[in-house]
Amino acid sequence: MLDPDELYFSSERYYLLIVELGDEIEAEDIAEREGNYIDACEHGLKAWTCLLELIKMLEAESIYDIENNGVTIYELPYWATCFADELSNASIRDKSYLQKKLDFCQHYVEMHEDFSDKELPNLGNVRSTLAETYYQLEEKEKADSLYEKWLKDEPDWGWGWIAWSDCYWLRRHIGLEQELEKAEQILRKGLSVKKVSDKEHIEERLNRLLEEKNKLDNKTNG
């Protein structure tokens, strides 16, 4: 990777990209706080374009490289999580943002394919948004295969088990059919992993799920 300080002072294009990136992220933040997710996403997409060009100019390989070398003043992994969330909110209002969400999350996840959630904070959030998007697009097998791969490589990723399970029962707001038995199986499998992280959160989610099953059983039998 090239020295970002050298480029900052030697390349006008690089300097302008840094300025443009900051302007777009700040405008995105304002729009998000105002609840205008469409505008927030449009600024976020421009920021993402800037970041991809910066990666190319610096001969870097990923956002991790940009973050690790202090190229910007922004916490880029955190930004990526927020942007993925904005795309999710925008896609509820405008279905065309589903594809934009898929493209961003897929690119970001593939860019950091060799990283774990522990190594790159918030990578797990973008992974989960990617898988959820495949569920929305009725590509459940693709989403399941992603979680199977991620959790095979990182079985102690507690929130991964939770997010996978959530797709089968808590995501009714995106039009998914509930499959409570499948959701329960996933959570119990996560709990069976030795030293799984956030075990208490998995147990809490399982308890909520069992309460939901109880209510449904009572309605059916009542």
As a whole number, mean pLDDT of residues 55-72 equals 94
Domain ranges within the chain, ordered by starting residue: 1-140, 155-222
What's the pLDDT band for 172 if we cut at 50, 70, 90?
Answer: low
Those residues with Cβ within 8 angstroms of residue 57's Cβ, 6 or more apart along the chain or in another chain: 2, 7, 11, 13, 14, 17
Those residues with Cβ within 8 angstroms of residue 183's Cβ, 6 or more apart along the chain or in another chain: 165, 166, 168, 169, 209
CATH number of 1-140: 1.25.40
What's the pLDDT band for 176 if we cut at 50, 70, 90?
Answer: low
- Residue 180: is its pLDDT beyond 70? yes
As a whole number, mean pLDDT of residues 198-213 equals 94
Give the CA-trace dihedral at 74, 76, 79, 85, to 10 degrees: 180
What's the pLDDT band for 177 if we cut at 50, 70, 90?
Answer: low
What's the predicted TM-score (pTM) here? 0.90
The rounded mean pLDDT for the chain is 92
Select the more confidently predicted residue: 173 or 122.
122
- Residue 173: is its pLDDT beyond 60? no
- Residue 138: is its pLDDT beyond 90? no
Which pLDDT belongs to residue 220?
Answer: 66
As a whole number, mean pLDDT of residues 129-140 equals 90
Which pLDDT belongs to residue 203?
Answer: 97
